[in-house]
Amino acid sequence: MKIERNIYLNQLISAKHNGMIKIVTGLRRCGKSYLLTTLFHDYLLSEGVDESHIIEIQLDDLDNENLLAPKELLSNIRNRIEDKEQYYVILDEIQMVDRFTDVLNSLLHNRNLDVYVTGSNSHFLSSDIATEFRGRGQVIHLYPLTFAEYITAFKGSQDEAWEEYYTYGVFP
């Protein structure tokens, strides 16, 4: 089931190549990872971006535990850059990385990188993150599903959709 989150996807699209880190924040389980790793990823592919130019790292995946060290993460990303073309870096759950602000600031030095991150801990959700990246980051705050978004993926009548929506909640 694919749930369109066009309001947020369009915010990401209009922020492309703005020289800032795109920071997607929001409550746990509201769809931050889905927005970046599915919807935005698919959009990039549809625009002709080569899969090898999309560097996507799930930092909450045990297989990526070694990348929680700042220098390991930077090295991994830089080793995947093979040419001067544009690359898109998507880092899911960046707050798990020690000194993640230093990592993100380091990535800003690469002109051919467009960086997108998600995070969901209290520090990441606070206004501190906006202050820390003032002028270098754009925050996109994701909310749980609206009814209009929910109904796009619901199979059944609008009345049935509404009953399920208010009974079970607004999280994807």
Q: Which pLDDT belongs to residue 168? A: 81
What's the rounded mean pLDDT across residues 12-22? 94
In what side-by-side order are the strands of the sheet with 137-142?
54-58, 87-92, 113-119, 21-26, 137-142
What's the rounded mean pLDDT across residues 96-103? 90
Q: Is residue 150 part of a domain?
A: no
What's the rounded mean pLDDT across residues 43-62? 97
Please tell me the total count of domains within the chain: 1
Q: Which pLDDT belongs to residue 135? A: 67
Q: Is residue 51 part of a domain?
A: yes
- How big is the CA angle at 146 (ends 7 and 58), to the nearest 5 degrees? 65
Q: Is residue 80 part of a domain?
A: yes
User: Domain limits at 19?
Assistant: 6-144
Report if pTM > 0.85: yes
Query: Cα separation of 66 and 160, whole Å?
Result: 46
Give me the half-sphere count of Cα atoms (radius 13 Å) on the Cβ side of residue 111. 3
Give, rounded to a whole angstrom, the gap between the first and last alpha carbons of the chain: 10
Q: Model confidence over 124-163: pLDDT tens digits?
A: 655 556 566 666 888 898 988 888 888 888 888 999 989 9
Q: Which pLDDT belongs to residue 81? A: 96
Confidence of residue 30 (pLDDT cuts 50, 70, 90): confident
Q: Is residue 108 part of a domain?
A: yes
What percentage of the chain's residues is helix, strand, coil (to nearest 5)? 50, 15, 35
Q: Is residue 82 part of a domain?
A: yes
Assign residue 25 the CATH number of its domain.
3.40.50.300
Helix axes 70-79, 100-107, angle to 10 degrees: 30
Q: Is residue 166 part of a domain?
A: no
Instruction: For residue 54, give the nearest of 46, 64, 66, 62 by alpha carbon.
Output: 46
Q: Is residue 158 part of a domain?
A: no
What's the rounded mean pLDDT across residues 44-68? 97
Q: Which pLDDT belongs to residue 129? A: 61
Q: Which pLDDT belongs to residue 161? A: 87
Q: Is residue 172 part of a domain?
A: no
